[in-house]
């Protein structure tokens, strides 16, 4: 337990020394909600079926934290430690792999969940988005969604050969996931073929579950997308554990 607490503290200090990464993990989604909410307001709009801009898209903005954390921040942070030799030095100590992974994911989880909740709180407190009908359900969806993408980040870190690869591929994946979130374009105006493709995006599964929980839809409507996320979580966690390396690829 002492090793875990010490690692959490050390990794948090390391993350604070990367203000750009910390901004995108924590502040990007809340700032975007504030900026776009100021520009577009939250008055009812026909393209959102009579809802306001943020009424229809707020959970999608929270999903941006998932995309950035899972496909970019986690892989880059882990590969930076591995490529710098920090993980190699840790491997020479009694530290267990599970302890390191738990500490690293704890830091990313706390930063990510704070960013998600801040984005939602700004939408509710500043722009008058209605409170969720099922607050506990929305919180559970946020926790499950973030946990899934943290597992995806671990799997990607185990697969990528270097930090530069993680940065390049991570940016591409992040943009694709952001475009499928529905935060910037109403999905109803997209071609039907594109809408069908978007339904296979893990980010959309999160957004659908959050929206169903937000308006108090039946439990089954919330559970189905969460089951899909659960499958991704299990597969990604197994890949991340199987392919984890202390040493850089040769």
What per-residue confidence (pLDDT) applies to 186?
Answer: 67
What is the rounded CA–CA span in Å between residue 181 and residue 172?
15
The answer, yes or no, to whether residue 249 has pLDDT greater than 70, is no
Report, as an integer, the average pLDDT of 218-244.
91
What is the rounded CA–CA span in Å between residue 2 and residue 26?
27
pLDDT digits (tens, 9 = 90+) for 83-97: 888 878 877 777 788
The percent of residues above 70 in pLDDT, for the chain, comes to: 96
Q: What angle do CA 77, 66, 140 make, to 5 degrees?
A: 125
pLDDT digits (tens, 9 = 90+) for 165-189: 888 888 899 888 888 887 776 676 6
Q: In Å, how far are 30, 51, 78, 161, 169 from 250, measured between CA atoms?
A: 40, 54, 17, 9, 20
What per-residue confidence (pLDDT) applies to 191?
Answer: 75
Domain boundaries defined on the chain: 2-243
Q: Is 110 helix (H, G, I), strand (E, B) or coil?
A: helix
CB atoms within 10 A of CB 98: 11
Helix-strand-coil percent breakdown of the chain, rounded to 5?
80, 0, 20
Question: Is the CB of residue 76 less than 8 Å from the CB of residue 20?
Answer: no
pTM of the model: 0.90
Confidence tier at 219 by pLDDT (50, 70, 90)? confident
């Amino acid at each position: 337990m002492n090793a875990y607490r010490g690692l959490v503290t050390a990794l948090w200090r390391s993350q604070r020394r990367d203000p750009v990464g910390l901004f995108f993990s924590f502040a990007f989604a809340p700032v975007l909600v504030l900026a776009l909410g100021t520009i577009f307001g939250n008055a009812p709009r026909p393209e959102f079926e009579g809802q306001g801009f943020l009424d229809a898209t707020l959970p999608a903005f929270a999903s941006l934290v998932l995309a950035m954390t899972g496909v970019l921040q986690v892989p880059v942070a882990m590969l930076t430690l591995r490529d710098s030799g920090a993980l190699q030095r840790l491997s020479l100590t009694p530290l267990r792999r599970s302890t390191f992974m738990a500490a690293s994911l704890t830091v990313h989880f706390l930063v990510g969940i704070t960013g998600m909740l801040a984005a939602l709180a700004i939408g509710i407190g500043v722009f008058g988005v209605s409170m969720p009908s099922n607050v506990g359900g929305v919180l559970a969806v946020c926790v499950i969604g973030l946990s899934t993408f943290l597992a995806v980040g671990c799997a990607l870190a185990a697969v990528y050969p270097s930090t530069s690869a993680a940065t390049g591929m991570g940016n591409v994946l992040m943009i694709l996931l952001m475009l499928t979130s529905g935060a910037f374009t109403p999905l109803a105006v997209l071609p039907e073929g594109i809408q069908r493709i978007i339904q296979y995006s893990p980010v959309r599964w999160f957004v659908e579950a959050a929206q169903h929980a937000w308006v108090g839809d039946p439990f089954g409507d919330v559970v189905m997308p969460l089951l899909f996320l659960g499958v991704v979580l299990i597969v990604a966690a197994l890949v991340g554990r199987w392919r984890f390396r202390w040493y850089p690829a040769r």
